[in-house]
A and B are shown apart, each in its own frame.
Chain A
Amino acid sequence: MNDGKPRVVIVPCSGIGKAFGSVAREAGYELCDELRPNTTRLVALSKLVLGDEQARARVRQCPAITIDGCKLLCAAKLVKHNGGTIAREVAVLDAYRQHKEFKPDGIAELNAHGRQLARIMAEEIAEVVDELGRHAPSGGNHA
Chain B
Amino acid sequence: MPSLPERKVGIVACSGEEIAEGTVTRLAALKVLHELRRGETVTICLPLFLAGGEGDRAFAKFHPTITVDGCDLKCAAHGTETYSGKPAASIVVSEIAAEHGIAGIEGRRCLNQAGQKAVELVAERLAALVDQLLGKRERPDAGASVETPAASVDSGVVGCSCGSGIPVKVLTIAGQSVEVVALPLIFDKLREARRVPSEAVAQDLLEMVKVYNYVRPETEASWREVLLREFAAHCERELSR
Q: Chain A residues in contact with chain B, CB under 8 A?
A: 12-18, 21, 25-26, 28-29, 33, 42-50, 52, 70, 72-75, 77-78, 81, 107-108
23 residue pairs of the A-B complex, CB under 8 angstroms, read A14-B15, A17-B43, A17-B45, A17-B161, A18-B162, A28-B17, A42-B17, A43-B17, A44-B22, A46-B15, A46-B22, A47-B18, A49-B49, A49-B75, A72-B52, A72-B163, A74-B47, A77-B47, A78-B47, A78-B51, A81-B50, A108-B27, A108-B34
> For A75, what are the chain B residues with a Cβ–Cβ distance below 8 Å?
47
> Does B7 make an interface contact (CB < 8 A)?
no
Bound form: Cα–Cα A142–B15 in Å: 25
- Top 10 A-B pairs, shortest CB-CB distance: A17-B160, A74-B47, A46-B75, A14-B15, A77-B51, A74-B51, A49-B79, A50-B75, A44-B16, A29-B109
B33-53 vs A, CB cutoff 8 Å, 1 = contact: the mask equals 010000000011111111110
Bound form: Cα–Cα A45–B49 in Å: 12
For B47, give its contact among A28, A45, A108 (CB under 8 Å).
A45
Q: Chain B residues in contact with chain A, CB under 8 A?
A: 13-19, 22, 26-27, 29-31, 34, 43-52, 73, 75-76, 78-79, 83, 108-109, 160-163
Bound form: Cα–Cα A137–B46 in Å: 35
Bound form: Cα–Cα A97–B160 in Å: 23
**Besides A14-B17, A43-B17, A49-B46, 17 other A-B contacts (C-beta < 8 A):** A12-B17, A13-B45, A14-B15, A17-B43, A18-B162, A43-B18, A44-B15, A44-B19, A46-B15, A46-B76, A49-B75, A70-B162, A72-B51, A72-B162, A74-B45, A78-B50, A108-B31
> For B52, what are the chain A residues with a Cβ–Cβ distance below 8 Å?
72, 74
> For A72, what are the chain B residues with a Cβ–Cβ distance below 8 Å?
48, 51-52, 162-163
> For B47, what are the chain A residues with a Cβ–Cβ distance below 8 Å?
13-14, 45-46, 48-49, 74-75, 77-78
> For B108, what are the chain A residues with a Cβ–Cβ distance below 8 Å?
29
Cβ B17 vs Cβ A33 within 8 A? no
Query: A46-B75, A46-B79, A78-B47 in contact; A33/B109 too (CB < 8 A)?
Result: yes
Cβ B160 vs Cβ A52 within 8 A? no
Cβ A46 vs Cβ B51 within 8 A? no
Cβ B163 vs Cβ A70 within 8 A? yes
Closest CB-CB distance, A128 to chain B, in whole Å? 19
> For A73, what are the chain B residues with a Cβ–Cβ distance below 8 Å?
51
Bound form: Cα–Cα A73–B47 in Å: 10
